Amino acid sequence: MNVTKFDKSVVNTMHAEMEASLQAIARKYNVGIHMAGGSFSPVEATLKFKLKIMDQQAAEEGERAIFERYCRAFGLRPEHFGVFITVKGERRQFVGLEPSRPKFCIKLKDADGTIRLWSRSVLPRIQNAALVTS
């Protein structure tokens, strides 16, 4: 196949093929590799992939290290890591920060293990939860 211009169909097909090709590398390094968006024009495409550590303990240690490095910038202390709060009627665990994301920078884990990003509006709940458990 000779690509003469990028359109949604071509880019999606190539992105999927690249992701499939990268799975051997993912297995070699024990990481997950998944499509993470991108952009294109008729003459240029930028494709993004997200890599994730599959070793749960190593991933949690990495999250804690990031949190400890940046927690004070968010008005938090090391003991805030791991507290449980209620948001939208569901109990969630505070599991980290995404300091490079200005709007949705708070990581909360749902009961099913899904990690979602939340805005800084949940910070007071995290701070208060730590006071209750201390």
pLDDT in tens, 69-111: 999 999 999 999 999 999 999 999 999 999 888 899 999 999 9
The pLDDT of residue 132:
63
User: Above 90 in pLDDT, residue 126?
Assistant: yes
The pLDDT of residue 131:
65
Do 65 and 79 share a domain, yes or no?
yes
% of the chain at pLDDT higher than 70: 96
The pLDDT of residue 97:
94
Question: Which of 107, 91, 111 lies closest to 99, judged by CA?
Answer: 107
Contact status, residue 33 vs residue 16, Cβ threshold 8 Å: no
Do 40 and 71 share a domain, yes or no?
no
Which is more confident, 1 or 76? 76
% of the chain at pLDDT higher than 90: 60
Task: Please give the average per-residue pLDDT across 39-43, as a whole number.
Answer: 95
Do 64 and 36 share a domain, yes or no?
no
Do 49 and 60 share a domain, yes or no?
no
Do 63 and 111 share a domain, yes or no?
yes
Pairing label, strands 31-40, 84-87: unpaired
Do 129 and 81 share a domain, yes or no?
yes
Do 112 and 67 share a domain, yes or no?
yes
Which tens digit of pLDDT belongs to each residue from 56-70? 888 788 889 999 999
pTM of the model: 0.62
Do 41 and 14 share a domain, yes or no?
yes
Mean pLDDT, the chain, integer: 90
Task: Choose the final residue of a domain: 53, 70, 86.
Answer: 53
> What does the block give as tokens for 122?
């949940």
- For 113, the domain range is 56-133
∠ CA 86-87-88, nearest 5°, is: 125
In a domain, 14, yes or no: yes
Do 16 and 80 share a domain, yes or no?
no
The pLDDT of residue 9:
93
The pLDDT of residue 133:
55
Q: How many domains does the chain have?
A: 2
